[in-house]
């Protein structure tokens, strides 16, 4: 069908006779960033017009032409040949304008029957966010698989565990890896719940009061892959809780990734030397040729603040809005889209970093010191029936004795010196206490650092994946 010659009119322009201030037009436009929802917008229009056809508001020919035109537009977007116009206010007006150019204004003008941009944009956003979160779920599982695989392969590597960034007790490197995997498992579970809450359809609610022609909203929802409906039309067009929750999920996830990155940055320093990052995830210095900087991890740590900030800013936008739709809600897209992109890229970078780094098991082992077995020394006496509060005091006295005698560790004290603190130390104390492998293997309860407990964690995570 031939293209109409007259200019495409704004969706809201009938009431207005004067032109818009060019700066206001730019200020009002969302097309530069919401055009990434082109596929969701086209799919929503395709299904919505099928719903209009069921009501008899479109005939067979009109529906066929609309769907043909939508298919042409989709191919143009996918081939990067869609011609953007200066007056394209947003993705919705751009697609409808182009549809009119392809199939004619008369038929194209019917696609908006009973539909408002209020329910249209809410629908587009929920479809887009749903698909993005499903993809994030996929790559998050891949990251978790790397954690679990390294934990299995490197099960024999021992390292210091820390509290207050001070050496505390021996643990397995695998146990440390799985501590972050456990955070990410919770993130995965929350993500699955989030996808369910995002996946509700607002389509068919009009501007705010509902649909005037009795459209089958359940049909629209089912065809668009939604699990259900937003059942109040006022809420449907103005609800952005799913945006807030998506950015909150991203903020919490990035918080976990930031803490992981901080540990890894510390462990990669020359002072620790526990790990070496691959060159692909490091940079050099413009002045000092010896430097190898962990920029990938520093960016992961830094970008967490970007996501946090987007959430805080949009929460301030929402906090005092009257019902129902207000233009302030247009401020949802930029922080939301940025958060989704940042989280996705961060997962991919973290996966690359973790899968390619080198573990220096010898340096981790060398960082273990006998004083880290002071609790094991107390536990030794507990097994002989001494109350723990008493053994804790005894073990502390042994540590103090080693310091006074200027020996290199509590393991260097003779049996007689140990017995000078408490006579219940026996000949077996050295073999029972001063062995890092035995220390970690004693922690075999669920969640511990013994091999059996670590493999149990691996098994539990694999089942979830």
Q: Which residues are catalytic?
A: 164, 285
Helix H or strand E segment including 160: strand 158-163
| CA dihedral sign, ordered 326, 328, 329, 333 | positive
Neighbour-count burial of 303, counting CB atoms closer than 10 A to its CB (0-12 exposed, 13-18 middle, 19+ buried): buried
Q: What is the DSSP string of 326-356?
A: -GGGGGGHHHHHHHHHHHHHHHHHHHHHHHH
The residue count of the chain comes to 465
User: What is the token pair recorded at 119?
Assistant: 């329910």
For residue 51, give the 3-state DSSP assignment. Answer: helix
**299 in the Ramachandran plot: left (φ > 0), alpha (ψ -120 to 50) or beta?**
alpha
Q: What is the DSSP letter of 19?
A: P
For residue 293, give the 3-state DSSP assignment. Answer: strand
User: What is the token pair recorded at 216?
Assistant: 């089958």
Q: How far apart are CA 142 and CA 185, in angstroms?
A: 12
Q: Are strands 228-229 and 200-201 parallel, antiparallel or unpaired?
A: parallel
Query: For tokens 């990938």, what's the residue?
Result: 296
For residue 75, give the 3-state DSSP assignment. Answer: helix
Do residues 422 and 433 touch, judged by C-beta distance below 8 A? no
Q: How far is CA 208 from each of CA 30, 72, 118, 119, 205, rounded to the nearest angstrom?
A: 21, 31, 8, 8, 6
Q: Are strands 358-359 and 275-276 parallel, antiparallel or unpaired?
A: antiparallel
Q: What is the DSSP letter of 18?
A: S
Q: What is the DSSP letter of 159?
A: E
Give the count of beta carbons closer than 10 Å to the beta carbon of residue 285. Answer: 10
Do residues 95 and 74 touch, judged by C-beta distance below 8 A? no
Q: How far apart are CA 351 and CA 355, in angstroms?
A: 6
């Amino acid at each position: 069908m031939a293209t109409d010659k007259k200019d495409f009119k704004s969706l809201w322009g009938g009431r207005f006779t004067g032109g818009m201030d060019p700066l206001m037009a730019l200020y009002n436009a969302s097309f530069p960033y919401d055009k990434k929802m082109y596929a969701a917008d086209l799919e929503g229009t395709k299904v919505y017009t099928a719903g209009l056809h069921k009501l008899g508001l479109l005939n067979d020919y009109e529906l066929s032409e609309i769907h043909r035109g939508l298919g042409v537009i989709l191919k143009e977007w996918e081939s990067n040949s869609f011609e953007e116009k200066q007056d394209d206010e947003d993705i919705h007006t751009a697609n409808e304008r182009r549809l009119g150019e392809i199939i004619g204004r008369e038929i194209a003008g019917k696609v908006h029957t009973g539909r408002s941009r209020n329910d249209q944009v809410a629908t587009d956003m929920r479809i887009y966010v749903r698909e993005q979160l499903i993809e994030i779920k996929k790559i998050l599982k891949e990251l978790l698989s790397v954690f679990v695989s390294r934990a299995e392969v490197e099960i024999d590597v021992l390292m210091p565990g820390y509290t207050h960034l001070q050496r505390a007790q021996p643990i397995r490197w695998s146990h440390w890896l799985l501590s972050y995997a456990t955070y990410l498992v919770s993130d995965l579970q929350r993500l699955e719940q989030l996808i369910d809450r995002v996946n509700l359809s607002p389509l068919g609610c009009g501007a705010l009061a509902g649909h005037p022609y009795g459209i089958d909203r359940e049909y629209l929802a089912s065809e668009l892959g939604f699990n259900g409906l937003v059942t109040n039309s006022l809420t449907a067009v103005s609800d952005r809780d799913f945006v807030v929750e998506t950015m909150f999920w991203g903020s919490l996830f990035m918080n976990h990734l930031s803490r992981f990155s901080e540990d890894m940055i510390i462990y990669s320093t020359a002072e620790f030397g526990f790990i070496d990052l691959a060159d692909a995830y490091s940079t050099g210095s413009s002045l000092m040729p010896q430097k190898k900087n962990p920029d990938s991890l520093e960016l992961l740590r830094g970008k967490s603040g970007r996501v946090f900030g987007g959430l805080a800013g949009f929460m301030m936008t929402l906090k005092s809005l009257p019902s129902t739709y207000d233009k302030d809600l247009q401020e949802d897209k930029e922080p939301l889209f940025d958060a989704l992109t940042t989280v996705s890229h961060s997962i991919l970078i973290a996966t690359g970093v973790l899968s390619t780094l080198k573990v220096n098991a010898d340096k981790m082992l060398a960082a273990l010191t006998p004083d880290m077995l002071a609790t094991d020394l107390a536990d030794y006496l507990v097994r002989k029936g001494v109350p723990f509060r008493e053994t804790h005091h005894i073990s502390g006295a042994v540590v103090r004795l080693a310091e006074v005698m200027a020996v290199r560790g509590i393991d260097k004290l003779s049996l007689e010196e140990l017995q000078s603190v408490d006579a219940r130390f026996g000949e077996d104390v050295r073999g029972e206490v001063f062995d890092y492998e035995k220390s970690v293997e004693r922690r075999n309860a669920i969640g511990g650092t013994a091999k059996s407990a670590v493999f149990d964690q691996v098994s539990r995570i694999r089942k979830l994946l």
